Structure 1
Amino acid sequence: MRKVKMEKFVTVLLALLFLTGCKSLSKSAENYSEIPANKKWSERMALTLMKKYPEAYMIDDKAEPKWDYVHGLNMIAFEELYSKTNDPRYIGYVKGYADATIDKDGKIPSYKFDNFNIDMIIAGHHLFDLYAKTKDHRYLTALKTLRLQLEKQPRTSEGGFWHKKIYPNQMWLDGLYMGSPFYARYNKTFEDGGQLDDVALQFELIQKHLLDKKTGLLYHGWDESRKMAWSDPQTGTSPNFWSRSLGWYAMALVDVLDYFPENHPKRAELISYFKELSSALVKYQDKSGLWYQVTDQGNRDGNYLEASGSAMFAYAFAKGANKGYLTKDFKTIANKAFDGLVNELVKVSPEGYVTLTNVCAVAGLGGNPFRDGSFEYYVNEKKKDNDPKGTGPFILAALQLDR
């Protein structure tokens, strides 16, 4: 009898242990997928970033608040995500960046006005919506400071903004995204749109000096003085086409059009630039849907399919098609590009965290050590997983494509 009771006791105990174990395993499995796969890619990437960087200023592995274009790019993406989802976490993340980088008087401690670095302008683009929502004058003060930089920014002889004070007489494709959408939005919001011709002038000069008529692509940079060792002695252009710089330029065109009224005489001109660039880029799209780091030299050893430029093109094409600037087939092309990103360059951890690989961490021209703009230079710059110059456009592309 005692033996039977003992056997029952052991059976019940084992059953309890089994059930407890199942519950524990079930709970563990829930935690295992912290970001559900049924969420859209825009949220999956955003939640990944928020998990790794609880405060937005920490993006790009920063230890303290820094005013920087990579944060500005991602805050634009988070704002767009908030407008689609209405999830307060996303706008809270954006506001957190503003409040970490702007003091009680509206000054930006980590920003240096006298550097005349046009990259720093886009870092404040998220302040328009924050000011409209909160009427917090700190944000308006910061906006005015950035606008003043553009007013004082050194220019080429024809009126093109220098990329930075330390890069005199130079215009880079990157700078059009860094400065022009902000300039156009500020001018439309606070100045009655009287300077939109000057905004358009920046693109006109890029088209005049950086466009290669044979390929339809644009070179990364142009030196009016022809003094830089990377510049062609006749044309002043740098020697190669870099996909991310072309991505910056494509995004600049499609975004700046948001602030040009339908009847503005320069609007059609900007749309034509965008159409021509988009048509040229399609010729260099790889069968994977992606683009190479050096855009037109996919067959050369060392070149690789690069994520940030590809994401930027996906975003620009999708938005261009959605807005009616491009034909509908560009939406298909954008989806192919996004498929390429997901299938070739995205990794998802068991917890659901998203990693975008093959992102060129940084590339430029001149400086110290000197960057010569050669093929070898571009393909040997380091890569960084989830570099913010890739994550921001990835979120924006996913939103435009509703992926």
Structure 2
Amino acid sequence: MITIVRSILAGIAVSLALYGQAQNIDLKTWPEKANPITVGRLVAQRFVESPHNSFKPPAPPRSITYPEVCTWYGALKFADISNDKVLLEQLTQRFMPLFDTEKHLVPRPWHVDFAVFGTVPLELYQQTQNKTFREMGMRFADAQWSLPIDSPQTVKNAYQKLLDKGLTWQTRYWIDDMYMITMVQSKAFQVTRERKYIDRAAHEMLVYLDTIQKENGLFYHAPDAPFFWGRGNGWMAAGMSELLSSLPIDNANRPAILASYKKMMASLKKYQRKDGLWGQLIDKPESWVETSGSAMFTYALITGVRNGWLDAKEYTPIARKAWLALVDYINEQGDISNVCEGTNRKDDYQYYLDRKQKTGDMHGQAPILWCVNALLKK
């Protein structure tokens, strides 16, 4: 009899434990190390204390680079969602020298990697209502669809053909374009409420998806580099998420973009590793765990669940597992490890496996902050 009672009690204990675990499969309840506010404060403050980013330290940067822009933007969004006025002031003061003593660091908007800079002043305008920020940011957004006057005529002719198709002259069909282009255009729409900005971003996105998305929902690094590189795919995942978050329901391209997004998320679900993250090469289990791409995927998944684009029951455990795994790579200083260094395309499998793994690189810092904001969003 005693044995039977003990068995029943043990069964009840197991059931309660499993029930407790089930109740915690959400995107709201976290252990302290994974608490979005805790992580956000740590990583945002690390950014505030960091010098301007450069691809080749310790040489001083020639201009503000896109990894810094993306981290700056993430920190600004965290300041807003957490109502941290002190952080907002710190991030604003980091920007102010760009109008004066550091104006040489403001990039020219002649390339997608530089045009995305406009995202930061536009976000600063939204939070401060300082029109100087708006004017600067809009110059970058408008430049993407304005023919550059200082280009040779033969180049202008090629650019004009793209503009005639409703595409930016900066179109290259590179996967990271779909964050760099759609991000600044989405912000311009949020600031001005002029549909042309978001509508042209959606058209650009659809053309890219029709051109470069593969049957499995993922993307090669380039046509001549047929590898599903993690961070490259991360830019696409994040870009679609940002665009869909702002894109009006009545935009004709929205259903096709959403379908492509869901197709990619289903593939990422398939390739998620047992530890919760994704590899340097997504479909190659022998490749090393890479955190910047993994964080971008996590951001896209959280955003999809939060907005109802993805089935919550199916995708919440995936997003939760990924976030819990990511925070284990963040050290006490607020730096995330296992970040792939800057990587150009190459038709060489071993090249991708041999890329250096960095700690504290802003390619990885940025999407951690994006995840924080997505988790905190109501």
Q: What is the TM-score normalised by the length of structure 2? A: 0.78
Query: Which residue of the other structure, out of 376, 379, 400, is the alignment partner of 2:353?
Result: 379
Quick check: 2:278–2:294 contact (8 Å CA) kept in 1?
yes
Any idea what SS the aligned residue of 2:271 has? coil
CA distance in 2, matches of 1:189, 1:66: 25
Structure 2 gap segments, 5+ residues each: 1-31, 148-158
Higher share in helix: 2
Q: What's the CA shift for 1:217?
A: 1.1
Partner of 1:117: 111
Cα root mean square deviation, aligned: 2.8
Instruction: Tell me: CA distance 1:359–1:254, structure 2 relative to 1, closer, same or farther (3 Å).
Output: same
Q: What's the CA shift for 1:199?
A: 1.3
Say whether 1:297 aligns with 2:284.
yes
Q: What's the CA shift for 1:112?
A: 4.7
Q: Which amino acid aligns with 2:353?
A: V
Query: Which residue of the other structure, out of 223, 227, 231, is the alignment partner of 1:240?
Result: 227
Structure 1 gap segments, 5+ residues each: 1-35, 164-168, 223-230, 232-237, 366-371
Query: Which residue of the other structure, out of 86, 91, 96, is the alignment partner of 2:88?
Result: 91
Query: Which residue of the other structure, out of 312, 316, 329, is the alignment partner of 2:296?
Result: 312
Q: Tell me the alpha carbon deviations over residues 86-134 of structure 1, each in whole angstroms, 9 at most, x when there is no partner.
A: 1223212321232132349xx9533453x72101222221222322444
Q: What's the CA shift for 1:355?
A: 2.9
Partner of 2:271: 284
Quick check: 2:221–2:227 contact (8 Å CA) kept in 1?
yes
Quick check: 1:359–1:387 contact (8 Å CA) kept in 2?
yes
CA distance in 2, matches of 1:279, 1:253: 14
Q: Tell me the alpha carbon deviations over residues 324-363 of structure 1, each in whole angstroms, 9 at most, x when there is no partner.
A: 11111322211111122233x3333xxxx23311101211
Partner of 1:48: 46
Partner of 2:23: none
Quick check: 2:228–2:282 contact (8 Å CA) kept in 1?
yes
Aligned residues with identical type, % of pairs: 22
Any idea what SS the aligned residue of 1:319 has? helix
Quick check: 2:53–2:65 contact (8 Å CA) kept in 1?
no
Instruction: Tell me: CA distance 1:239–1:264, structure 2 relative to 1, closer, same or farther (3 Å).
Output: same
Partner of 1:228: none
Larger Rg: 1
Any idea what SS the aligned residue of 2:331 has? strand
Q: What's the CA shift for 1:159?
A: 5.1
Instruction: Tell me: CA distance 1:199–1:380, structure 2 relative to 1, closer, same or farther (3 Å).
Output: same
* More off after superposition, 240-249 vs 67-76: 67-76
Quick check: 1:76–1:125 contact (8 Å CA) kept in 2?
yes
Q: What's the CA shift for 1:149?
A: 2.0
Q: Which amino acid aligns with 1:218?
A: F
Say whether 1:75 aligns with 2:77.
no
Query: Which residue of the other structure, out of 333, 345, 362, is the alignment partner of 2:342?
Result: 362
Q: What's the CA shift for 1:279?
A: 0.6
Q: How many residues align?
A: 328
Query: Which residue of the other structure, out of 205, 208, 211, is the alignment partner of 1:206?
Result: 208
Partner of 2:8: none
Instruction: Tell me: CA distance 1:220–1:102, structure 2 relative to 1, closer, same or farther (3 Å).
Output: farther
CA distance in 2, matches of 1:269, 1:82: 33
Q: Which amino acid aligns with 1:140?
A: R
CA distance in 2, matches of 1:156, 1:244: 30
Partner of 1:8: none
Say whether 1:127 aligns with 2:101.
no
Instruction: Tell me: CA distance 1:81–1:191, structure 2 relative to 1, closer, same or farther (3 Å).
Output: closer
Any idea what SS the aligned residue of 1:290 has? coil
Instruction: Tell me: CA distance 1:250–1:142, structure 2 relative to 1, closer, same or farther (3 Å).
Output: same
Structure 1 residue runs of 4+, over 4 Å off? 36-39, 58-65, 155-163
Quick check: 1:293–1:378 contact (8 Å CA) kept in 2?
yes
Q: Which amino acid aligns with 1:356?
A: I
Instruction: Tell me: CA distance 1:342–1:110, structure 2 relative to 1, closer, same or farther (3 Å).
Output: closer
Q: What is the TM-score normalised by the length of structure 1? A: 0.73
Any idea what SS the aligned residue of 1:152 has? coil
CA distance in 1, matches of 2:161, 2:309: 30
Quick check: 2:113–2:180 contact (8 Å CA) kept in 1?
yes
Partner of 1:13: none
Q: What's the CA shift for 1:304?
A: 0.5
Q: Tell me the alpha carbon deviations over residues 247-274 of structure 1, each in whole angstroms, 9 at most, x when there is no partner.
A: 1111111111232122222222221121
CA distance in 2, matches of 1:49, 1:185: 22
Partner of 1:227: none
